[in-house]
Structure 1
Amino acid sequence: MSTAAPSPAALDITGLGKSFGAVRALDDVRLTVAAGTVHCVLGENGAGKSTLCHVIGGSLAPDSGALTLYGEPYAPRRPADALAAGIAMVHQHFSLVPTLTVGENLRLLRLRDLPGRLARVREEYGLALDLDARVSALPVGVRQRVEIVKALLREPRLLLLDEPTGVLGAPEVEALLATCRRIADAGRAVVLVTHKLGEVARAGDAATVLRGGRVAGGGPLAELPPDRLVPLMIGRPAQDLDTSLAETIGLAAAGPAPARTGGVEGAAPPVLRLRELTVRRPDGSYALQDVTLDVGAGEVVGVAGVEGNGQSELMAVLGGSLAPDGGCLELAGRDLTRAAPRERTRAGLGVVPEDRHHEGCVPALSVAENLFLGRLGEFRRAGVFLDRAALHRAAAEVMSAHGIRAAGPTAPMSSLSGGNQQKAVMARELGLDPLRCLAAAQPTRGLDVGAVDAVHTRVRQAARAGAGVLLVSSELGELLALCDRVAVAYRGRLLGPVDPREPGARDRIAHLMLGTAAPAHEAGDAAAPQSPDDAPPVPLPSKDPR
């Protein structure tokens, strides 16, 4: 009786090594991705995940090791070789041309029958695009969708996804995971780099954990539940994770939730006051409509919402890159509505934008220069010369305190992994003196488990020190665990607020986010609005009404 020979693995890697100077990014990495599976790659920021993807994708050459693709030797020297072999990659950082439309970006691929391929992707995966929209005007989540469509248009037999869900809302995440499943079920393979263990459990067949550039463990996910993956990633049990951290990485609630700050007793007027902020798009529609919001000293206020409901514009107004058409912004009683970004920084307003790579840092500058952007004057000698030795010493201290992994303070920011870039941007804004208010959009996006824990701790510390915190996040569990109040962005307005501690808070926020009928309050309370479209914008005062 004859037995059919087993089909070759989609991708087989043996003894892979890669160094950057004295830094060993990959060390004897061994990995097998079976055809017809979704293989998840996990690990802390700087563990080598993105380097591994770049080697597979042809943009980096390994120093040692061998790769085979569906049984054939595979040694790409450039990304074009990977594409020719049937490998498509969605990078952490976007490769779109922002000044062009979506359609113009797709035409740069020079694919035959582009309309037909677009129709197949839309029909098979439910990924529709506005081809006439200019990329620079798109929310980050929509830009990520364009990148994913670009990869799928090539009909790859191996799809590499490097942290693809960090900028997507919950419905888009579910659609992407379903897409991964369909690709695998069609006999092809997916390598999914992610920090979300919930995504791993829902979409993955097998996993490999990297730590310090080496394989720490892995195998079929049927044998690796999340509580076994966490120790491989961070070296401590899943049971030690508090509720906010567990929910952010996609685990069920583990340990108890830390106490909220609740604001400062007897606080002065709110540190951040937004009054009737209005931003109109070029077509005349509202990106922000009469947004009114107070953030008190020592208070953490959250903003939830599906991507594209005004959160990006709100953060742009706070950061000073977008001037509102109406309304005002005050920090500690000072009008900053028309102030330049540097003036806002000096006033004590820290802003962490949602797109850390393009808006939060200058990739060509060093890590040290990025950590002290807007404050380099503190390191001048004789008022003219930059004291680089002092700058680098100060940067090294910040890097150590925040766990920023890099070759050193002089390393270019572009050499850092996406998660370490996020750590650096957070460290810079948290280091403002004084820090009166921190406005952070998606602060844990792309961060590993330990780094998420550190960010949550530092947000709480900033609030306890008297700073106000405005937290814009797509992670509802994160908002419920960290915030004193949660507003909901819907069609350019802020609805709410919702007290995270009230019964049914999660369901009420979810209804407001989706624009469906909100559940009524418990008996004795006034009825909730039946629809966000019928509800007027609700001012969100701080705890001190003064």
Structure 2
Amino acid sequence: MPAPAEKTEPQPLLTLSGVGKRFGEFSALSDIDIAFNAHQAHCLLGENGAGKSTLCNLVFGIHQPTSGVMRLEDAPYAPANPRDAMGHGVAMVHQHFSLINELPVIDNLLIGKKFGRLNRKAEAEKITALATEFGLDLAPFEIVGDLSVGQRQRIEIVKCLMQRPRLLILDEPTAVLLPEEINSLLDVCRRVAESGCAVVMVTHKLAEIARVADRVTVLRGGRAVAHSAEPSNDMDALVRAMISREGGAGDNRNFGVSALPPRNPAPHRGPRPEAMQIDNLSFVDEIGVKRLDSVTLTITEGEIVGVAGVEGNGQSELGSILAGLSRATSGRWFAAGREMTAAKPRQITAAGVGVIPEDRHLVASIGQLSLADNLQLGRMQRFARYGLIDRKDQREAASTLMQRFDVRAPDSQSAFSTLSGGNQQKAVLARELTTPNLRFLLAAHPTRGLDIGAIEAVYTFIRQAADRNTGVLLISSELDELLAVADRIVVFYRGRIIGERPASSDNRDHIGLLMSGKTP
């Protein structure tokens, strides 16, 4: 009986050494050392803004590094653009598809690849054989616009595989897929890796990493803070690296909360009234994926409840429903005893609910308008005089808010878009925290993109609101901030609340385990 063949160690196909990328004064990536091996699937894990997509764009030639070197096998690799990268055998499936919906599948696949007279039947047979080789179901002559999102993504993958790439990058490939489509895609990733290709997949979903990854690199604040060659066994450590500032050398983003004194809520006789109640809330998105699953939560007046969880586990959908931007599929929710389940944003505000959405530019402000206008969005009727706006009265009110909340700008007539990120966020806070009869505040990622001083200011204002008996739901991917600011923390996983703990540093590891889906 012949001796079993020795298992050979995977060889690095692409190596990055000391790679960094700056956009002006902003450092998106710093000192990245990483190797992507042939025959392996390598997952890049990290929260939004960690630098995952930037790293992929460097490898694919969309951007060029500011520092460091890349080597493909044993030769220098510095693609000037995506076409150059593809010429070196590097392909990328982007988050957003680049298909022409009016054309059939085969025409989308052959655009730019075939010239002259085409035998469409012969080409369709080749494409079908390639798709079948990797377990992809493809109908070459169907119109793309008639296909599901998952089917369109298969086309994008086949388009890349037609090049027979040495390295395939998939940037957040499962973000828009149904559960069964996700399983199919992960199977494809394994097949592609086993064929000899190096597969790089960007994700923040832990279940996908456990299923497909041979190696994992965790990015945080633009740095590689952890590596694992046994991700299934190291999942707890990977989660801690992703959420803990201790894992990210040089990332001092969360130190803004270190200046906050311990929270000591004022004593209250008897049970506190409810500020907000969620009762069995579920949400199914437009492609049929259940994003929230029977969520029940109560927040009392003066209480700050933090929502922890790896992004993509239903927190954004919950925030959208409570802001009146989405409608729950089932269940109900109440603010200060009033049902808000079917309420519109204006009605929610009138009920005494303040909303700090996670995207202040898209939802919370209008950049072209003045600071004064943004401070009074939704309440301009206060300054109406015989059908006209009393601008003097409005400017005085704006100046009062600017002083109270330390919003720094040349004057209240400055365009909102010209303010720094911190001052924009303080302006949104000023408006929402002065909502008449404020009883409940939704704060979704209120410090994202802010510097240390702005972080401290934002949380000081939120705490002051709680001290005035406002109930607060604080959604954040920064566990350090939740531990420093909240009274208790609930953990979301796959659209459910799977655990709750007091907001104490002693509970950090336990909360990290819950975030990875492990329950006692």
Tell me the CA shift for residue 132 of structure 1: 6.7
Distance of 1:36 and 1:111 partners within structure 2: 36
Alignment correspondent of 1:318: 322
Alignment correspondent of 1:129: 173
Q: Aligned letter for 1:280?
A: V
Tell me the CA shift for residue 410 of structure 1: 1.8
SS at match of 2:320: helix
Q: Does 1:490 align with 2:490?
A: no
Matches within 5 A, 1:272-421: 272-382=276-386, 384-421=387-424
Tell me the CA shift for residue 399 of structure 1: 1.9
Check 1:361–1:171 CA distance in 2 against 1; reply closer, same or farther (3 A cut).
farther
- Asked if the contact 1:371/1:428 (under 8 Å) is kept, the reply is yes
Distance of 1:339 and 1:310 partners within structure 2: 20
Matches within 5 A, 1:417-496: 417-496=420-499
TM-score of the two chains, using structure 1 as the length reference: 0.54
Alignment correspondent of 1:510: 512
Aligned-pair Cα RMSD in Å: 4.5
Tell me the CA shift for residue 472 of structure 1: 0.5
- Asked if the contact 1:479/1:486 (under 8 Å) is kept, the reply is yes
Distance of 1:393 and 1:331 partners within structure 2: 31
SS at match of 1:302: strand
Distance of 1:405 and 1:283 partners within structure 2: 43
Q: Aligned letter for 2:220?
A: E
Q: Aligned letter for 2:173?
A: L
Distance of 2:506 and 2:226 partners within structure 1: 33
Tell me the CA shift for residue 202 of structure 1: 2.8
Check 1:262–1:471 CA distance in 2 against 1; reply closer, same or farther (3 A cut).
farther
Report the number of matched residues.
342
Check 1:128–1:120 CA distance in 2 against 1; reply closer, same or farther (3 A cut).
farther
SS at match of 2:287: coil
Q: Aligned letter for 1:296?
A: T
Check 1:360–1:105 CA distance in 2 against 1; reply closer, same or farther (3 A cut).
farther
Alignment correspondent of 2:273: 269
- Asked if the contact 1:264/1:299 (under 8 Å) is kept, the reply is no
Distance of 1:307 and 1:176 partners within structure 2: 17
**Unmatched 5+ residue regions in structure 2?**
1-19, 33-65, 68-78, 82-93, 102-110, 114-155, 179-215, 228-242
Q: Aligned letter for 1:505?
A: N
Tell me the CA shift for residue 417 of structure 1: 2.9
Check 1:253–1:396 CA distance in 2 against 1; reply closer, same or farther (3 A cut).
closer
Tell me the CA shift for residue 418 of structure 1: 2.8
Q: Does 1:202 align with 2:204?
A: no
Tell me the CA shift for residue 174 of structure 1: 3.1
Percent identity between matched residues is: 38
- Asked if the contact 2:95/2:171 (under 8 Å) is kept, the reply is no
- Asked if the contact 1:419/1:447 (under 8 Å) is kept, the reply is yes
SS at match of 2:278: strand
Distance of 2:164 and 2:176 partners within structure 1: 14
SS at match of 2:223: helix
SS at match of 2:98: helix
SS at match of 1:308: coil
Distance of 1:258 and 1:512 partners within structure 2: 24
Distance of 1:253 and 1:443 partners within structure 2: 13
SS at match of 2:293: strand
Deviates most, 253-262 or 280-289: 253-262
SS at match of 1:357: coil
Check 1:119–1:326 CA distance in 2 against 1; reply closer, same or farther (3 A cut).
farther
- Asked if the contact 2:320/2:326 (under 8 Å) is kept, the reply is yes
- Asked if the contact 1:486/1:497 (under 8 Å) is kept, the reply is yes
Distance of 1:405 and 1:111 partners within structure 2: 52
Q: Which of 85, 104, 114 lines up with 2:98 in the alignment?
A: 104
Alignment correspondent of 1:44: none
For residues 15-67 of structure 1, the C-alpha deviation after alignment (integer angstroms, 9 at most, x for no partner) is: xxxxxxxxxxxxxx9x9x9x9968xxxxxxxxxxxxxxxxxxxxxxxxxxxxx
- Asked if the contact 2:308/2:490 (under 8 Å) is kept, the reply is yes
- Asked if the contact 1:199/1:250 (under 8 Å) is kept, the reply is no
- Asked if the contact 1:278/1:326 (under 8 Å) is kept, the reply is yes
Distance of 2:340 and 2:446 partners within structure 1: 23
Distance of 1:118 and 1:176 partners within structure 2: 31
Distance of 1:115 and 1:131 partners within structure 2: 19
Distance of 2:372 and 2:467 partners within structure 1: 28
Distance of 1:313 and 1:324 partners within structure 2: 9
SS at match of 1:202: coil
SS at match of 1:358: coil
Q: Aligned letter for 1:174?
A: R
Q: Which of 223, 227, 246 lines up with 1:177 in the alignment?
A: 223
- Asked if the contact 1:349/1:436 (under 8 Å) is kept, the reply is yes
TM-score of the two chains, using structure 2 as the length reference: 0.56
Check 1:390–1:171 CA distance in 2 against 1; reply closer, same or farther (3 A cut).
farther
Q: Aligned letter for 1:387?
A: D
Distance of 1:36 and 1:106 partners within structure 2: 37
Distance of 1:401 and 1:119 partners within structure 2: 58
- Asked if the contact 1:121/1:127 (under 8 Å) is kept, the reply is no
- Asked if the contact 1:274/1:293 (under 8 Å) is kept, the reply is yes
For residues 349-398 of structure 1, the C-alpha deviation after alignment (integer angstroms, 9 at most, x for no partner) is: 0011111111111222221111111111111113x211111111211221
